[in-house]
Amino acid sequence: MGSLLNYPLVKTNNTTQRTAGSSSDGTEDSDFSADLEHTEVSESAHRRSSTRLTRASLRLSQSSQDLKQGADRDETPPRTPTGNAPSSESDIEVSSPSNDLEDERLAKELSLKEAAAHDLSHRPKRRRFHESYNFNMKCPTPGCNSLGHLTGRHERHFSISGCPLYHNLSADECKGKASTRDKQAEERTLSHRQDENRHSTRNQAPSDRQLRYKEKVTELRRKRNSGLNKEQKEKYMEHRQSHGTSREPLLENITSDYDLELFRKAQARASDDLEKLRLAGQVSEGSNMIKTIVFGRYELDTWYHSPYPEEYARLGRLYMCEFCLKYMKSQTILRRHMAKCVWKHPPGDEIYRKGNISVFEVDGKKNKIYCQNLCLLAKLFLDHKTLYYDVEPFLFYVMTEADNTGCHLVGYFSKEKNSFLNYNVSCILTMPQYMRQGYGKMLIDFSYLLSKVEEKVGSPERPLSDLGLISYRSYWKEVLLRYLNNFQGKEISIKEISQETAVNPVDIVSTLQSLQMLKYWKGKHLVLKRQDLIDDWKAKETKRGNSKTIDPTALKWTPPKGT
């Protein structure tokens, strides 16, 4: 205990201060300075030339400005403080015109010169890449340089869906197919306009163009080869052995050319839609591509990356069944799944029920798929979680809230079946829609209740997440204040507190230090009973009520024996 003297747990917040400032690439400043310099030179040149201009030339200049003001209002160059257009040319000698034609000719020449003085079109334009491009990212296809795109409309790609090499194409071939699709779209639009001129009725007969197109498609499908010859089969097998799953299988001669072209168009369209989502910020290149999940009646924003399969991870939104935790790609698939999903609660044994709150014990060995999906879901909201697929050595305790539609997932915690360090929690999570409602402390209290039944002292596995650390410190504080409020003796033992509350002695000492209730005086350790903290805790307990508490009598559970 000597090492614990006068070391209160101090919570510090490390904030990084950044010096306010502005940064630029220097190009904007160079443009502005160049314009100022150009204007000053033009003004000086104009002052030299204006001393030699006659009144007639000035009158012609003003008349040319009035003529051009209506037509070129937006393109009129800025004037000098004298009201005339600046000129950067050499000195001009202009005499009084003899007729109107000469005046008009001189006015045109003067206007051309002043336009040339401020024409900056000869300056090279700055090259700007799209802000959303991250050039440190690479396409996951082996041997791909990330150049080109399946749609033929983008210069780079970062996913398999837009990779020309994965689809056994080159970037030039994709551009050629894109131009062909554009031409076909124009022809189709033109034909639709022609069909709009026809009288529209409900049972309208197909037009001659539509009949010819139908016959053409039928003929193309009839000409399809019935099967692959020996050379083609060898070619396909060689391609699969060389590239495996890193390339798309060869699709030629599997179906008709017409249907294959339709499939290619659908691929390009899907890839283009995905690229638009990426540019809009809904899908990002990199590991954390799932931005939101649809979970029951909630749409939740994710916090961290979770190692879902690549075909799901690259989607901006994931759809999940809140009962079996199966993940899907679209709302349609989810709706069809919910129509036939028979699950209304987690698998396993219901070991606790009070009111509408239930807790199910799920064995990772018996219900492997469900536990894996639960871990993948939890990783979206936990930073330090490393368990995804090896779920067999763990038990999962899933808390649910029941209504007339089923038992909805509130949170869960997992623990090892055989923990040598007596960890009673390996991972704990409260779903974001149920946070700050007392469910987190209910999960923690339930884990310590199981430790009491097992007659063990428990502690959570480290490291704890930020929210987990806050929840555990708050729980330990309440446990100690409740114990001290009910304690009537004069001498108190850390060991006795640990045995009664099932809290690890190290956690008890650290909590007492953080509350400044542990002191060292005359060679002895003293626990100060701070009545102010106890009174504050009583007031909060009275205000909170007993709605979010665990009732030990509602637990129907026997500690599992060795596996």
Domain 344-554, architecture per CATH: 3-Layer(aba) Sandwich (3.40)
The yes-or-no verdict on residue 277 having pLDDT over 80 is no
Share of the chain above pLDDT 90, in %: 28
**How many whole angstroms separate alpha carbon 391 and alpha carbon 366?**
10
Q: What is each CA distance from 375 to 291, 306, 371, 391, in whole angstroms?
A: 17, 9, 6, 9
Q: Is the confidence at residue 83, as pLDDT, over 50?
A: no
Amino acid at 188: R
518 or 275, higher pLDDT: 518
459 pLDDT higher than 60: yes
What span, in angstroms and rounded, lies between the C-alpha atoms of 41 and 25?
26
Domain boundaries, the chain: 144-184+233-283, 344-554
Describe the crossing of helices 257-279 and 171-196 by its angle, rounded to 10 degrees.
100
The phi, psi pair for 401, rounded to 5°, reads -120, 120
> Residue 129: its pLDDT value, please?
35
Question: Per-residue confidence at 281, pLDDT binned at 50, 70, 90?
Answer: low
For residues 29-37, give the mean pLDDT.
40
Weakest-pLDDT range from 94-98, 371-375, 426-430, 458-462: 94-98
Contact call for residues 360 and 346 (beta carbons, < 8 A): yes
How high is the pLDDT of residue 75? 42
Q: What is the tens place of the pLDDT at every residue in 120-174?
A: 444 444 333 333 444 456 787 888 888 888 888 888 887 788 888 888 888 888 8
pLDDT in tens, 87-120: 433 333 334 444 556 666 666 676 666 655 555 4
The residues annotated with a catalytic role in the active site are 461
Crossing angle of helices 466-486 and 531-544, rounded to 10°: 110
Q: Are 97 and 56 in contact (CB under 8 A)?
A: yes
Average pLDDT over the chain reads 76
Say yes or no to pLDDT of 300 above 80. yes
What is the mean predicted confidence (pLDDT) over 450-454? 93
The share of the chain scoring above pLDDT 70, in percent, equals: 71
Residue 203 has pLDDT above 80, yes or no: no
pTM: 0.55
For 316-365, what is each residue's pLDDT tens digit?
789 999 999 999 988 999 999 999 999 999 999 999 999 999 999 999 99
Look at 122 and 263; give whichever has higher pLDDT: 263
pLDDT, residue 19, reads 36
Q: Band the pLDDT of 199: cuts 50, 70, 90.
A: low
Average of pLDDT values for 374-387? 85
Give the length of the chain: 563
Q: What pLDDT shows up at residue 493? A: 85
Q: In the prediction, which pLDDT does 460 show? A: 92
Does the N-terminal peptide bond of residue 552 adopt cis geometry, omega within 30 degrees of 0?
no
How does residue 210 score in pLDDT terms, banded at 50, 70 and 90?
A: confident
| pLDDT for 528 | 83
The stretch 254-283 carries a mean pLDDT of 79
pLDDT tens-digit map of 51-64: 443 444 444 445 44
pLDDT at 326: 95
Q: What is the mean pLDDT of residues 32-42?
A: 42
Please say if the pLDDT value at position 446 is more than 60: yes
**pLDDT attached to residue 155:** 86
**113 Cβ partners below 8 Å, 6+ apart?**
87, 89
According to DSSP, the β-strands at 459-460 and 298-301 are unpaired
pLDDT at residue 108, rounded to an integer: 67
Contact 467, 382 (CB under 8 A): no
**How many C-alpha atoms does 43 have within 13 Å on its Cβ side?**
12
Q: Does 4 score more than 60 pLDDT?
A: no
* Range picked from 2-16, 20-34, 520-534 for highest mean pLDDT: 520-534
**What CA–CA distance (Å, rounded) separates 334 from 319?**
7
Give yes or no for residue 371 having a pLDDT over 60.
yes
Q: Closest Cα partner for 260 from 210, 211, 225?
A: 225
Instruction: Report, in angstroms and rounded to the nearest whole number, the Rg of the chain calculated over CA atoms.
Output: 38
Amino acid code (one letter) for 474: S
Which DSSP string do the residues of 492-549 spell out, in sequence order? --HHHHHHHH-B-HHHHHHHHHHTT-EEEETTEEEE---HHHHHHHHHHHHHH-STT-
Q: Which long-range contacts (CB under 8 A, 24 or more apart) does 483-492 make?
A: 484/527, 484/529, 484/534, 485/534, 485/537, 485/538, 492/527
In whole angstroms, what is the distance from residue 439 CA to residue 437 CA?
Answer: 6
Task: Please give the pLDDT value at position 562.
Answer: 58
Task: Kindly state the tokens that stand for 212.
Answer: 């010819």
Identify the weakest region by mean pLDDT among 69-73, 258-262, 388-392, 555-559.
69-73
